[in-house]
Amino acid sequence: MLGDITRAKDIYIVCGYTDMRKSIDGLAVIVKESFGMDPFAASLFLFCGKRRDRMKALLWEGDGFVLLYKRLENGNFKWPRNQEQARRITMKEFRWLMEGLEIDQPKAIQNIKPGDFC
């Protein structure tokens, strides 16, 4: 199905600014050259520009890339700006981002690994 992001095994947010004039090839080069990751993996890569009101998502579907673009009419995305890296996020953090929240929620209950104690 075209643009079915639920098929992505991992979601990566590219922190910092991205030139929103870049298309599929330019974004794939960023993924490969800047972060050493495989743009053909079953992953969703998220990019945001300086104004933070536009976002692009790159997804490989097996037979080609899908480029998703979202422009907010009011408000902006709470995009992490302090790092120049691709950061893996969970589906919950992705939902927070789409709802206008920060992906780092200090009061959210975090999952722990079995065997971890206080």
Closest CA to 93 of 117, 76, 111, 81: 111
Domain limits, the chain? 5-98
pTM of the predicted protein model: 0.84
Mean pLDDT, the chain, integer: 87
Neighbours of 37 (CB within 10 A): 17
Q: What pLDDT, on a 0 to 100 scale, did the predictor assign at position 59?
A: 95
pLDDT class of 79 with cuts at 50, 70, 90: confident
Give every CB contact of residue 36 below 8 A, 6+ residues apart in sequence.
none
Token pair listed for 115: 């065997």
